[in-house]
Structure 1
Amino acid sequence: MRIMLRYMACVLMVLLLGTLTSMAQSRPSYVGTISVKPVRVLQAGEMLYVEMDIILDQVKVKSAGAVDIIPCLVASSDTLELPKVSLKGRNEYATYERILALMSNSERSDRAIPYLVERNVKPESRTIQYRHTVPYEPWMAKAYLDVQKDECGCGEIAWMEVETVDSVRLDFIPEPYRVIPHMAYVQPVPEPVKNREKQVEAFLDFEVNQTYIQPEYMNNPVELAKIRAMIDELRVDQDITINRLDLIGYASPEGSLAGNKRLSEGRALALKNYLSRRYTFAPSLYHVVFGGENWEGLRKALTNLDEPYKVAVESIIDDYDGQERKDRLMRLQGGAPYRYLLRNVYPKLRVAICKVEYHVKNFNVEEAKEIMKVRPQNLSLNEMYLVANTYPNGSKEFINVFETAVRLFPEDDIAKLNAAVAALSRRDIETAERYLDQVKHRELPEYANAAGVLALLKDDYESTRKYLQIAVDAGLEVAGKNLEELEKREQTDLEIKSRKK
Structure 2
Amino acid sequence: MKRKTFCSVLLLLLPLLTLCSQEAYMGQIQITRRSFSLSGSQLHIQMEVNYEGLQMPSDESLTLTPFLLAGEQSFDLPSILINGAEKQKVYERTRVLGGASDARNGRNSTPSVVLKNDRKASRRFTYKVTVPFREWMAQADLMLHTEECGCNGREAATYDDRIASGILLPEVEVPGLEKSVDVRCLSWVNFIPASLESADYRL
Common fold, TM-score beyond 0.5? Answer: yes
Superposition TM-score, scaled by structure 1 size: 0.25
Deviations along 1:38-73, one digit per CA (max 9) or x if unpaired, are: 521222111111111111234464221112221110
Return the match for 2:139 from 137, 142, 146: 142
User: What is the aligned partner in structure 1 of residue 12 from structure 2?
Assistant: none
In structure 2, how many angstroms separate the alpha carbons of the residues matched to 1:46 and 1:112? 27
Deviations along 1:362-404, one digit per CA (max 9) or x if unpaired, are: xxxxxxxxxxxxxxxxxxxxxxxxxxxxxxxxxxxxxxxxxxx
Map 1:66-105 onto structure 2 (within 5 A).
66-100=61-95, 101-103=98-100
In structure 1, how many angstroms separate the alpha carbons of the residues matched to 2:41 and 2:162? 29
User: What is the aligned partner in structure 2 of residue 118 from structure 1?
Assistant: 115
1:165 CA drift (Å): 4.4
Give the direction of change, closer, same or farther, for the CA distance of 1:38–1:161 in structure 2 (3 Å limit).
farther
1:144 CA drift (Å): 1.8
1:163 CA drift (Å): 3.5
Could you tell me whether the CA contact under 8 Å between 1:47 and 1:136 is conserved in 2? yes
In structure 2, how many angstroms separate the alpha carbons of the residues matched to 1:49 and 1:155? 31
Amino acid paired to 2:134? E
Which protein, 1 or 2, shows the higher relative CO under an 8 Å CA cutoff with sep ≥ 6?
Answer: 2
Structure 2 unmatched ranges of 5 or more: 1-24, 101-107, 178-203
Could you tell me whether the CA contact under 8 Å between 1:142 and 1:166 is conserved in 2? yes
User: What is the aligned partner in structure 1 of residue 148 from structure 2?
Assistant: 151
User: What is the aligned partner in structure 2 of residue 52 from structure 1?
Assistant: 47
In structure 2, how many angstroms separate the alpha carbons of the residues matched to 1:122 and 1:55? 12
User: What is the aligned partner in structure 2 of residue 462 from structure 1?
Assistant: none
Give the direction of change, closer, same or farther, for the CA distance of 1:124–1:42 in structure 2 (3 Å limit).
same
Could you tell me whether the CA contact under 8 Å between 1:58 and 1:124 is conserved in 2? no
In structure 2, how many angstroms separate the alpha carbons of the residues matched to 1:69 and 1:129? 13
1:96 CA drift (Å): 2.4
Structure 1 unmatched ranges of 5 or more: 1-29, 104-110, 174-501
Return the match for 1:171 from 159, 170, 173: 173
Return the match for 2:34 from 33, 36, 39: 39
In structure 1, how many angstroms separate the alpha carbons of the residues matched to 2:173 and 2:161? 24
Give the direction of change, closer, same or farther, for the CA distance of 1:44–1:83 in structure 2 (3 Å limit).
same
Matched, 1:129 2:126: yes
In structure 2, how many angstroms separate the alpha carbons of the residues matched to 1:96 and 1:85? 14
In structure 1, how many angstroms separate the alpha carbons of the residues matched to 2:156 and 2:41? 33
1:133 CA drift (Å): 0.8
Bigger Rg, structure 1 or 2: 1
Could you tell me whether the CA contact under 8 Å between 1:149 and 1:159 is conserved in 2? yes
SS at match of 2:52: strand
Could you tell me whether the CA contact under 8 Å between 2:88 and 2:116 is conserved in 1? yes
Deviations along 1:159-202, one digit per CA (max 9) or x if unpaired, are: 235232415133399xxxxxxxxxxxxxxxxxxxxxxxxxxxxx
Could you tell me whether the CA contact under 8 Å between 2:142 and 2:162 is conserved in 1? no
Map 1:224-263 onto structure 2 (within 5 A).
none
Give the direction of change, closer, same or farther, for the CA distance of 1:164–1:64 in structure 2 (3 Å limit).
same
1:88 CA drift (Å): 0.5
In structure 2, how many angstroms separate the alpha carbons of the residues matched to 1:161 and 1:145? 6
Amino acid paired to 2:85? R
Identity %: 24
Give the direction of change, closer, same or farther, for the CA distance of 1:162–1:130 in structure 2 (3 Å limit).
same
CA RMSD of aligned residues (A): 3.2
Give the direction of change, closer, same or farther, for the CA distance of 1:139–1:36 in structure 2 (3 Å limit).
same
Give the direction of change, closer, same or farther, for the CA distance of 1:60–1:125 in structure 2 (3 Å limit).
farther
User: What is the aligned partner in structure 2 of residue 439 from structure 1?
Assistant: none
Map 1:466-477 onto structure 2 (within 5 A).
none
In structure 2, how many angstroms separate the alpha carbons of the residues matched to 1:38 and 1:81? 20
Could you tell me whether the CA contact under 8 Å between 2:82 and 2:115 is conserved in 1? yes
Question: Between Structure 1 and Structure 2, which shows a larger proportion of helix residues?
Answer: 1
SS at match of 1:92: helix
SS at match of 2:51: strand
Amino acid paired to 1:133? T
Question: Between Structure 1 and Structure 2, which shows a larger proportion of strand residues?
Answer: 2
Map 1:388-407 onto structure 2 (within 5 A).
none
